[in-house]
Amino acid sequence: MIEAELLTCQDVMRLTSIRSRTTVWRRVRKGDFPSPIDIGNGRIRWRTSDITDWIETLPERRY
């Protein structure tokens, strides 16, 4: 089994250009953003595949 890469909140913010942890968590609560997983000892991570899938579903902005 291939182990999925896990991202910290800082990693997620860098990849998505979201500027604050509060915004990440607000979007998670609203259901507009992938939910993280709890890997134990209070550590929360996001699967890379969940974040890249979310990015892929964003609409293109055309000018």
* One pLDDT digit (tens) per residue for the chain, 63 residues: 345 699 999 999 999 999 999 999 999 999 999 999 999 999 999 999 999 999 999 999 888
1 inside domain: no
Residue 41 counted as domain residue: yes
In a domain, 63, yes or no: no
Q: Which two tokens stand for residue 1?
A: 């089994």
Which domain, by its residues, includes 17?
6-57
Q: What dihedral do alpha carbons 44, 50, 15, 28 form, nearest 10°? A: -60
In a domain, 62, yes or no: no
Q: How many domains does the chain have?
A: 1
Q: What local confidence, expressed as pLDDT, does residue 5 receive?
A: 92
pTM of the model: 0.85
Compute CA distances 56 → 23, 30, 31, 36, 52, whole Å.
Answer: 19, 19, 16, 18, 6
Residue 22 is predicted with a pLDDT of 97
37 φ/ψ angles, rounded to the nearest 5 degrees: -115, 150
